[in-house]
Chains A and B, each alone.
Chain A
């Protein structure tokens, strides 16, 4: 019993990271039906910028936790700027010319460029991220958990809740929802849909950058850290559905927990297989995702 609980707890914290990144995919898909395939790189850049900031603040004789908290808004701002830049450089042209696939290549290309730039600036070594919380594990019943793992779950949920709240309550959020429902109609109502799309990209990269600084203290930070996470989060977005906020959370938890359970009960060599089988099943049985609304495409 203790083992199962331990595996589920570890799976939850991994899964919540996938969920935050997948949430970012979903934000841009809602407004523009496009995705930023450089999400993994946005996460990596966020973590590296966060690392540099934290090291600078610790150098200025601040405590680890204070430095970490001060760094968070800066990394979020950086993520927004980075996302807006990706939209401006890679997606806007494709949308304007109604190109079906241009944005795919453009966002992948930008991701590669960003990764190479990060390799040049930060090197290709994996760097240790100073942990803002004590690294010794807490015992909760039979389960041992690191404080940072709890912070990952809480932080991820908090970020998603705030963005959802913003989208539902503020006037800008209403513009986002309007654009998501019908871009052309929203445009006719006087909403600057282009700006809304740029903004959704900014929010999307912000979520990824935030996920980067959440996961960094648990692992190592480096230019290649985003590739696997970005891909797994994409699977989560497909499983959960690209139009559902609850979907990405559930999808993330499903993938995270199946990974750790398979690693233990089946074989660590097959750890990634059940998640991908699930992905194929969802694609063939309910292509819009477990929680997704079936889209009716009028021709």
Chain B
């Protein structure tokens, strides 16, 4: 009787531990896989999947549990992002979520993770406010992390590149009327003001506008010597095409969306020479980047990554999260957050190497020394200043404050 009971108990324990070992760790993935932002969303997803496959092949996390991705298409729409957040939290019970291309979707959806105490890794959305939404002192703990170059960094870089490095004096700003464009325009104006430059024109257009003649003409007549942009691919292409139509050629420098394939392919020859900040350019400048690019090309059977920045940041987000889960020895949100804020192991990523990337007060991995300027050339993004990526400058580490 006792023996049978012991045997049954052992058996029960055994099956329970087996189930435990095979029990996957669920990670949510939310991004636009269709629509105007899909080049970024799909590249991010593919980068994330690449990292998850590598981790699972090497034995998963928490001593043998595979990571299981739960992918959802938020269509770049705030309300769908919110639905997905609730589904991932309540139904799928994910340990953490990676994602968000669009600042608006991130801001609308993150609050549900904050309330449920589940970490969010923003790997693409750039709005300056994204990691500040639940920052101290208003909130005790912030569950929102990011490993992308935010708009404060990008606008500062754009202003410095145009005014300081290239010596332009009369910038014109062209931004779309979305949150992204208008917040970016404000950041850019502030960054220019720091260099005591006032834009000669500051024009706005709607997403979906078909004719940019008035805006471009205004910049031209104001005597602009450089155009600074904050918009997304299709409208950026309209700007480049309107400039070509008016027979006016000045440099186009703008936020990282100028690297979107929807801009490069639609603008064609008119988009050549456009410059934008990039945390990653598809070039094998470090061994990790080389293996990442080769694995991406082989797995997805393409030569040009549609949005290399999104792919690399998605990949790195998984590595950081996996390291934190291992350190937390748990899938509980608060423990993963603590581990992320005090990450002991060094993580070798594609964008950079991470050594204590986050702290309780700082939820950003990218500082303004990390991105370099990319340049559209022959339908691809290449470094604008190749010397920026030479030798030991290829790997740029976060500056400690």
Contacts and interface: CB of A to CB of B under 8 A. Distances in A.
Partners in one complex: yes
Contact of A124 (B34, B210, B244): B34
Nearest to B76: A124
Interface string B20-45: 00000000000000111010000000
B34 A264 contact: no
Contact of B38 (A125, A137, A229, A259): A125
B395 to A, nearest CB: 35
A126 interface: yes
A220 B245 contact: no
Q: A3, A135, A219: which has the most chain B beta carbons within 10 Å?
A: A219
A218 interface: yes
The 4 lowest CB-CB distance pairs between A and B, nearest first, are A263-B214, A124-B35, A10-B213, A219-B210
B387 interface: no
Given A126-B234, A224-B208, A6 B213 contact: yes
24 contacts: A6-B213, A7-B217, A10-B213, A13-B211, A123-B34, A125-B38, A125-B262, A126-B36, A128-B265, A135-B244, A137-B245, A137-B247, A145-B245, A146-B245, A220-B237, A224-B208, A227-B208, A260-B211, A263-B214, A264-B217, A268-B205, A268-B218, A271-B206, A272-B206
Given A220-B234, A263-B218, A271-B214, 13 more contacts: A6-B213, A7-B217, A123-B34, A124-B75, A136-B244, A144-B247, A145-B245, A215-B210, A264-B214, A264-B218, A268-B205, A271-B205, A272-B206
Nearest to A125: B38
A263 B215 contact: yes
B367 to A, nearest CB: 33
A169 B375 CA distance: 59
Contacts of A126: 36, 234, 262, 266
Interface string A16-41: 00000000000000000000000000
B138 interface: no
A220 B232 CA distance: 14
Interface string A107-149: 0000000000001000111101000000111010000111000
A156 to B, nearest CB: 15
Interface in B145-171: none
A137 B36 contact: no
B178 to A, nearest CB: 13
Interface string A240-277: 00000000000000000001111110011101100000
A142 B86 CA distance: 58
A125 B75 CA distance: 11
A225 interface: yes
B266 A10 contact: no
Nearest to A124: B35
Contacts of B262: 125-126
Contacts of A3: 217, 221
Nearest to A10: B213
Nearest to B211: A14
A6 B208 contact: no
B204 interface: yes
B203 interface: yes
B213 A260 contact: yes
Interface string B43-66: 000000000000000000000000
A268 B247 contact: no
A218 to B, nearest CB: 7
A81 B203 CA distance: 42
Nearest to A145: B245
B36 A125 contact: yes
Contacts of A124: 34-36, 38, 75
A170 to B, nearest CB: 35
A137 B214 contact: no
Contacts of B246: 6, 137, 144
